[in-house]
Amino acid sequence: MTKENRLLLYSALSGVLYGLLVRGIIQATATPALNNTWLWVMSAAFILAVPFSVGYISVAMRARQQPVGFWFSVGSPWVPVALVMLGCELVGWEGTICIVMITPIALLFGSFGGLVARDIVDPSAPKTATMSILLVALLPFLLGAAEHKLPVTEDMRGVESDALIHASPEIVWANIERVRSIEPGELPRSWNRVIGFPRPIEATLSRESVGAVRHATFAGNVLFVETIDEWEPDRRLGFSIHADTKDIPPGTLDDHVTVGGPYFDVLHGEYILGPAGNGVTRLRLISRHRVSTHFNWYAHLWTDAVMRDVQHSILYVIKNRCEASPALTN
């Protein structure tokens, strides 16, 4: 191996080892007995500053020896950042859902760190370069300590999806008030299930009126208890939602994105039926959910996308069932 290749490998490994060490420290202190007030996974300090530091360190280690170019500074941090993500998943610190959601912003801030290192680190001043690396390595912990004192903002989000169904409102209503067991083959392709979100299975209804309880079941014993608060047959069905998490086996959902947890919850759902002309019914599905992090501006992009994808799958099943109803031949 040439000296140049050894330097590249050493630089990348420095970033990888740093990132895994930080995540390991968080894992070791994430217990009730050790309340970590310095850094935790669902913090902006971890999501943004750790990838920045990984990118900075990996580029700075090489820049201490020789000048680096713009594109090297942008692209080379992606390798250690990606390896840190992979390592966290392999050892079980993070689930696939979290890895997929974090990776885009982590790669961006890794490149940012690399660019800053390119501008700051000077091969003619190796001691100053080393000092900057040490300071950047401490940056996530310093930011985390400050962030810990900040209140978390609750962001209430609304997501709406719709479908045009060639069936009467009566047929559509019959297929939404209760949803019989959904076979896997009835569902469309869905990226949220690829990354680990459970598939919908069925929805039962205790009685047909306001105050009734609807049980919406997803795979992995994920249960949403839905209390009917709007009941207008053939027109509107609304319900408040409570996630029953006590029977969900460990590993079904990543701890950091568990529905009903401190960071994310689904609050309300509503079906609205309306005429679209020529015997077509427009079915709208509207949901409201909560996002509670210090980086809601990024987190809500994913929660909105997941909710929209889940709603698309449900509407897809309802549309196909309604249009295949024997009553359509009357």
Which of these three, 120, 147, 174, is where a domain ends?
147
- Per-residue model confidence as pLDDT tens digits over 161-215: 999 999 999 999 999 999 999 999 999 999 989 988 889 999 999 999 999 999 9
Q: What is the CATH number of the domain that holds 284?
A: 3.30.530.20
Q: Are residues 307 and 166 in the same domain?
A: yes
Q: Are residues 173 and 265 in the same domain?
A: yes
Residue 113 pLDDT > 70: yes
Name the residue among 296, 303, 229, 298 with its Cα closest to residue 259.
303
> Quick one: tokens of 315?
């509407």
- Per-residue model confidence as pLDDT tens digits over 221-242: 889 999 999 999 999 999 999 9
Which of these three, 147, 164, 181, is where a domain ends?
147
Q: Are residues 100 and 13 in the same domain?
A: yes
In whole angstroms, what is the distance from residue 55 CA to residue 78 CA? 8
Q: Are residues 142 and 178 in the same domain?
A: no
pLDDT at residue 244, rounded to an integer:
85
Q: Span 97-109, mean pLDDT?
A: 95
57-61, 90-94, 311-315, 325-329: the lowest-pLDDT one? 325-329
In whole angstroms, what is the distance from residue 149 CA to residue 137 CA? 21
- Per-residue model confidence as pLDDT tens digits over 253-272: 666 777 878 899 999 999 99
Which of these three, 147, 170, 196, is where a domain ends?
147
Q: Are residues 9 and 117 in the same domain?
A: yes
In whole angstroms, what is the distance from residue 294 CA to residue 44 CA? 6
- Looking at every residue in the chain, the average pLDDT score rounds to 91
Q: Are residues 161 and 115 in the same domain?
A: no
Q: Are residues 143 and 161 in the same domain?
A: no
- Per-residue model confidence as pLDDT tens digits over 20-74: 999 999 998 876 545 567 888 999 999 999 999 999 999 999 999 889 999 999 9
In whole angstroms, what is the distance from residue 112 CA to residue 98 CA? 21
Residue 274 pLDDT > 60: yes
The number of domains in the chain is 2
Q: Are residues 297 and 217 in the same domain?
A: yes
DSSP bridge partners of 30: 35
Q: Are residues 120 and 253 in the same domain?
A: no
Residue whose structure tokens are 């040439």: 2
The set of long-range contacts for 303-306, using a CB threshold of 8 Å and a minimum separation of 24, is 303/157, 303/264, 304/157, 304/159, 305/192, 306/192, 306/197
Planar angle of CA 24, 299, 28, nearest 5 degrees: 15
SS3 of 200, please?
strand
Range of the domain at 95: 3-147
Q: Are residues 143 and 159 in the same domain?
A: no
Residue 328 pLDDT > 60: no
pLDDT at residue 330, rounded to an integer:
40
* Percentages (nearest 5) of helix, strand, coil residues in the chain: 50, 25, 25
Q: Are residues 184 and 97 in the same domain?
A: no
Say which residues have a Cβ less than 8 Å from residue 220's Cβ, sequence separation at least 6: 198, 248, 249, 252, 253
pLDDT at residue 281, rounded to an integer:
97
Q: Are residues 305 and 186 in the same domain?
A: yes
- Per-residue model confidence as pLDDT tens digits over 285-320: 999 999 999 999 999 999 999 999 999 999 999 999
